[in-house]
Amino acid sequence: MIDLHCHTLHSDGTDTPEGLALLGDQARLTALCLTDHDTLGGIPAFLAMQTRVKVRLLVGTELSCRFLGKSLHVLGLLVDPSDVQFQSRLEELRGRREDRNCRMLVRLAELGCPLTLTDVQAQADSPLLSRVHFAKALVARGFVRRAPEAFERLIGDDCPGFVPREELSPSESARWIRESGGVPVVAHPGRFAGGGFRWDEAMAELQRQGLEGLEAYYGDYQAAEQKYFVALAARLDMVVTGGSDFHGANKPGLRLGRGRAGLQVPDDLLDRLETQQRLGAYH
């Protein structure tokens, strides 16, 4: 059993990279890929744990793109952590995130929920700030009772306090990931654009833009969703991946390798992923 999608405190998770590696070992995973948002900052400490754990530790990240007017997440799996150009590109994305965060502070103040940057930073253990940290700050200041309420009323997509940031196109993200030796994969496709979305058409378009796989196994999927995306990947001849999207305490009840309940990502998916990585190296 493998898990190719998880986060640490270097983005919006709560575990250290070292702690995540140990959790992967305790879960008896065969392989574990760290995919923090817009950063490889936790990767050195994560990979340094390889001598202490049996689980194979892999390198990844998660990028945000703009697709059909909404935010789409793309996993960059098996990227090269020593790629200077890719690191520079990630630094540019973090700059865009910081600009968005400043604009969100202004928007929230206009809505009667004034926060300072210090308020938000107090909720994070790393320099990278996300909406998760904004939600916690809103709770701490008493503007909402619980973090989910912050997303529902204020900072979720299409809510009055939400400010989009300048995001990549899917084709840009795919190119960046491929040029760093990785495989670009559509993350949790069933969680984009709501129910009734025509994924057969959208995924074919994303494939034309350079996306090579999709996350057909996911920690929050129902059995019917998993079956649908596995079949869709087969029809399009795309790589299938899977992961829990583990965030530690920021997603209670979501277990590494297991998701909400019975998630089991087959080991052999990693073989196909690595084959796709080798094929990409020849293009």
pLDDT tens, 85-135? Answer: 999 999 998 888 889 899 999 999 999 999 999 999 998 877 778 888 999
| Pairing assessment for the beta strands 31-34 and 56-67 based on DSSP bridges | parallel
> Is there a single domain that holds both residue 209 and residue 274?
yes
- d(CA 14, CA 29) in angstroms, rounded, equals 20
Measured CA to CA in angstroms, residue 220 lies from 20, 187, 246, 252, 264 at distances of 19, 12, 10, 12, 12
- How far, in whole angstroms, is CA 226 from its chain's centroid? 18
In angstroms, the CA 278 to CA 264 distance is 25
- Do 71 and 115 belong together in one domain? no
Do both 127 and 232 map to the same domain? no
Rounded CA separation 88/94 (Å): 10
Q: Are residues 198 and 259 in the same domain?
A: yes
- What pLDDT sits at residue 195? 57
pLDDT tens digits, 45-82: 999 999 999 999 999 999 999 998 888 999 999 999 99
Where residue 282 falls among pLDDT bands split at 50, 70, 90? Answer: low
Q: Are residues 147 and 206 in the same domain?
A: no
201 shares a domain with 187: yes
Same domain, 185 and 78: yes
Q: Are 179 and 275 contained in the same domain?
A: yes
Q: What tokens does 180 get?
A: 């760093």
Domain around 59: 2-91+166-281
Last residue of a domain, one of 108, 133, 155: 155
Burial of 132 (C-beta count, 10 Å sphere; 0-12/13-18/19+):
buried
Same domain, 67 and 174: yes
Of 122, 155, 188, the position where a domain reaches its end is: 155
- Tell me which of 108, 126, 155 is where a domain ends: 155
CB 150 within 8 A of CB 138: yes
* pLDDT tens column, 196-243: 678 889 999 999 999 999 999 999 998 999 999 999 999 999 999 999
- What would the pLDDT profile of 148-202 be if each residue is shown by its tens digit? 999 999 998 889 998 887 889 999 999 999 999 999 999 999 877 665 678 889 9
pTM over 0.85: yes
160 within some domain? no
9 and 87 co-located in one domain: yes
Does residue 85 fall inside a structural domain?
Answer: yes
Answer yes or no: do 63 and 21 share one domain.
Answer: yes
Residue 281 reports pLDDT greater than 70: no
What total of structural domains would you count in the chain?
A: 2
What CATH code is carried by the domain that includes residue 82?
Answer: 3.20.20.140
Contacts of 183 (CB under 8 A, 6+ apart): 76, 77, 78, 177, 212, 213, 239, 273, 276, 277, 280
Q: Read off the amino acid at residue 76.
A: G
Q: Could you read off the pLDDT of 121-154 as tens digits, one per residue?
A: 998 877 778 888 999 999 999 999 999 999 999 9
Instruction: Give the integer Cα–Cα distance in Å for 216 and 220.
Output: 11
DSSP letter for 36, please. Answer: -
Residue 78 pLDDT: 98
CATH number of the domain residue 116 falls in = 1.10.150.650
**Residue 96 and residue 81 in one domain:** no
